[in-house]
Amino acid sequence: MSKAIIVPDLAYTSHTGRRGNGSSGGKELLATLKYLQYRDDANGHIPQEKGLERWQDRGLGQNYREILNTCHSLSSAKVLAWTWVISPAPDLMALVPQPEREALVKTLTEQIVEAYYEARGVDVPRYSYVMHDRIAKPDDEGNSGLHQLHTHVVLPGTTPTIAGEQLPFYNRANKGHVQLLRDIASEAFSAEMDQRVGIEWHELRPELQPTLQPELLLQTVLPELPPVVEWDSISELDRWFGKRTPEREIE
């Protein structure tokens, strides 16, 4: 299996939460948002001070309370919020000059979010994201101590329309949506690496030839949620981060 250049991971939070009881989904989302705001990992607290906000606000909010409230107001009947991870490969990011890395990941995050929703044929919803940095697990080549710069993106369960309505929005692996997201992410990161590093980085991934699939844009999104499944790029994140709490995504 080829080694990914970037892994976009997506999951959702329902109103009922993992346990399916009452309003536990809101409590789960609250805990997730607070973790994202104040932690990079399980250890250490990172205060968010006025003027130094960690959240990049693209309409959803600039702190966990604002984001939570907006997600509630823009939720669909079944999805309270979508949560993404956009994680470029540590060995490739190590080729980027250190002062450029954060700007690259921010640019990449916004490119991927906006291109994905546009490719799905809908308006880009409000969203917010936060950047984390941690030390990745040693890779297959024995590289250790590499920084794993990545973003966590929070998006609502609906998308806006010109008429001012909010329409339910779902992501399904069996409709090609997950593959579309992967292809968009790979293409965007590849273009950024070509510009910032040069084509030499391709020597580390000579077998990778990402291509978009335009036929996916014509597929219809079904109104109900099918069962949750796992997908193989999660194992790639496990390789970089170590074993994580299982995420959920919609088939």
Q: What is the mean pLDDT of residues 83-102?
A: 95
Q: Where are the alpha helices (DSSP H) in the chain?
A: 24-38, 64-73, 90-93, 101-119, 177-196, 233-241
Please enumerate in sequence order all residues whose Cβ is within 8 A of that of 108, keeping only pairs 6 or more positions apart, or say none: 6, 86, 88, 185, 188, 189, 192
92 or 3, higher pLDDT: 92
Whether the pLDDT of residue 22 is over 80: the answer is no
Whether the pLDDT of residue 102 is over 70: the answer is yes
**Digit-coded pLDDT (tens) for 68-77:** 999 999 999 9
Dihedral angle computed from the Cα positions of residues 168, 57, 235 and 3, in that order, rounded to the nearest 10 degrees: 110
State the pLDDT at residue 24.
85
Domains of the chain, by residue range, sit at: 6-250
Q: What is the mean pLDDT of residues 176-193?
A: 96
21 or 201, higher pLDDT: 201
Q: Where are the alpha helices (DSSP H) in 39-166?
A: 64-73, 90-93, 101-119
Listed residue (156, 154, 132) closest to 33, CA to CA: 154
Please enumerate in sequence order all residues whose Cβ is within 8 A of that of 68, keeping only pairs 6 or more positions apart, or say none: 26, 29, 30, 33, 61
Q: What is the mean pLDDT of residues 226-247?
A: 43
Contact by Cβ (8 Å): 117, 219: no
Listed residue (179, 206, 228, 193) closest to 18, CA to CA: 228
Contact by Cβ (8 Å): 148, 89: no
pTM for this prediction: 0.80
State the pLDDT at residue 50.
58
End-to-end CA distance of the chain: 22
Q: What is the mean pLDDT of residues 221-246?
A: 42
Specify which residues 160 forms β-bridges with.
Answer: 166
**Digit-coded pLDDT (tens) for 28-49:** 999 999 999 987 665 666 666 6
State residue 168 phi and psi, 5-degree precision.
-60, 145
Model confidence band, residue 217 (pLDDT cutoffs 50, 70, 90):
very low
- Among 13-22, 70-79, 115-124, 158-167, the minimum mean pLDDT is found in 13-22
Model confidence band, residue 141 (pLDDT cutoffs 50, 70, 90):
low
